[in-house]
Structure 1
Amino acid sequence: MLNKKVKAAAVHAAPVYMDKAASLRKVLALINQAARKSVELLAFPEVFVPGFPYFAYAYAPNAATVALYAAQSVVVPDDLEDVQAACAKFNIVVVLGISERMRGGNSLFNSIVTVDADGTILGVHRKVQPTWAERLVWGQGSGYTLRTYELRTMDDGGGGYRIGGLACWEHVINGARQALIDQGQHVHVGCWPALDVLKGFEKVACAQIEALMKTHALTAQVFVLCASSYVDETCLRWMTEKLGPQDKVRAGGGWTAIVHPFCSIVAGPHTTSQDKLVVSEIDLSQLDLVKAYVDGVGHYKRPEVFSSHVDMTQRWKDEPDIVGPISWCSEGLGEP
């Protein structure tokens, strides 16, 4: 039984497009803002740093553009010390979507970093299958990083809870969702970009996001924090100035909400081109009632009928390094 209430927030915001340093400063500002609202758990959109590679959908393939994107991608843990410090300072858990650059290399991944409230990086999840044009930018993550993490600093005597996340259309991979369910997940973070800004997706993208988030909430019996970005003028201007005119991506978009395990929306949805923290208290003790009806790791699983296998073999050389814990050391460091 988890007898705990957590004040949680999902970020709906635009990054400073293709500017790692400025986007990380915005991350720190949003952490500060969340702390002023007494938020304990803060979820960010997909690849919030340095922004979603919309250029892959708007222009012909161009390796030079991917190289520019790589230069603005995040190296773990080197680029995240200030984020770790902010988590420790404000006693807040942060789940952050980043474009990750392999340390000492050039390979990129669509990654989700989970930082505990003492500044420890609990681990990095790499999206197991980049979608469509994303494959021009990111490599495939392996099952090694498909994990949930127990938030040690959130154990107040009622027991710590387990959190995990997936990125965007990774949620359509039922095996990936089941892997998190089997690990006893309690809270899920769905990291998304704005998809309804893409030509051909204007009328369907938000419905897809809502459907996938509610599906995982019910089938996993978890609270879902769905965090989305939107496209602002800095993104459109960067693409126009660097790559030329385009008509495949427009401004706006995004769908940000917090979803109850029984699929009611407890906060949001927020869908406008305006930065906002979508905030709600989530009562983890309510999972007991939900699981009386359906328990995906217990009485509703039917393991004698259904089984699944997740290959969690290490595939990339650095995976043991980025699947933490990676402690944060405050010695010699200034304020975030």
Structure 2
Amino acid sequence: MIKEGIKQRFLAAAVQAAPVFLNKDETIGKVCSLIEEAGGNGAQLIVFPEAFIPTYPFWPKDLGSGPERKLVLDAFTELYKNSIEIPSSDTDKICEVARKAGAYVVIGVNEKEGGTLYNTMLFIDNKGSIMGKHRKLLSIDSEKCVWAGMGGAKDVRVFETELGRIGGFFCYEHHLTLAKYAMFMKGEQIHAGLWAGHGFVKPTMDFASRQYAFEGQVFVIVSSMYVDEGMIPDTFPLKSYTKWDFPGGSGIINPRGEYIAGPLYDKEGILYAEIDMDMIIRAKAVIDSVGHFSRPDIFQLIIKDEQGEGQLKFSEEYRELKHHIDRLSKRQDSIEAKLEEILSKLSR
């Protein structure tokens, strides 16, 4: 369960902050400063909020076909122009600061590929290399008007690190039940939960994060934005159309579903907590959702990856089992035929 070479204890940091609204370069500068601060305080894993670069699209996405339609398209254009490509000189800056800090970094970004935007989680190791990314599997509500791109099976992944197996989801992905279980099956131990910090989602962020930790026996590092109206330039055309209620709710939760730091509301800050891997063992002694507290004889989850490898793995197991059943069935038919033949001879 806990591999050799994995650190027994380390310090994790959950960042609660606001981006420099719709300004990629200045937001990246803020990210680098926060990594330096958290790394300087001993954090070896630093988690940032959803879509932090250059911002989450808080504004209304559809104001009809009247004059306001232009304002929506203007906002999308600014978001696109300030989004990043992976990899790029933008990600290089973050990677270099992560290397100097000697810390793993997980951060939410708006990723552009061609003319399409993705809500993407970027994973950087403590050597300054990109381990990979997770594209949001399914946007919710009006997010679909911005993030037309969706992730695939390859985005349901965990990364092997010296801190343990690290993975992550965005906000309402924590309600994709089968995706959650897939992460547990892959052995996730440290989960980055990235949120935008909406006020109406405040209770959801709390119970979804705590349930994820308890259900999967994992540590959850919750990172959320905190944004108020005063942080938004008056020049932003949709400022008056938007309710700026984003109080945050960042925290760090142990595998029993208990906060060991936070939750933090109504201000920016960095939360720290020690991650003790023994807590995972203690939690799994009671409930191991992919072990002794599961019923694989009744339930099975099939993950279809881009090449069908996950499907193939499960299909081979199924075919092998079916082959044995078919062979036993034929043997049974043969035995029954022999018995009938013997009984027929005895009855003469």
TM-score, normalised with respect to structure 2: 0.81
Equivalent runs, 1:1-336 vs 2, <5 Å: 1-2=1-2, 4-56=8-60, 59-60=63-64, 62-78=72-88, 79-102=90-113, 105-138=114-147, 139-151=149-161, 154=162, 161-196=164-199, 201=200, 205-233=201-229, 236-237=232-233, 241-243=236-238, 245-246=240-241, 248-272=242-266, 274-313=267-306
Question: Which letter maps to 2:254?
Answer: H
1:65 Cα deviation (Å)?
2.5
Question: 2: distance between equivalents of 1:234 and 1:127?
Answer: 29
For each residue in 1:271-308, what CA deviation from the matched residue of structure 2 results, as whole angstroms up to 9, or x when unmatched? 01x22101000101221111111112222221111111
SS of the equivalent of 2:233 reads helix
Contact 1:56 1:136 in 2 (8 A): no
Secondary structure at the counterpart of residue 245 of structure 1? helix
Corresponding residue number in structure 2 for 1:326: none
Work out the percentage of aligned pairs sharing the same amino acid: 31
SS of 2:237's equivalent in the other structure is helix
The size of the alignment, in residue pairs, is 296
Deviations 1:12-59 (A, max 9, x none): 100101011111111000001101211110000000101110123584
User: Aligned pair in 2 of structure 1 residues 298, 34: CA closer, same or farther (>3 Å)?
Assistant: same
Gaps of 5+ in 1: 155-159, 316-336
Query: 5+ unaligned residues in a row in structure 2: which ranges?
Result: 309-348
Structure 2: how far apart are the matches of 1:115 and 1:57?
A: 31
Give the match for residue 314 of structure 2: none
1:252, CA displacement in angstroms?
4.3
Residue 314 of structure 1 and its aligned partner are, at CA, apart by 6.6
Higher helix share: 2
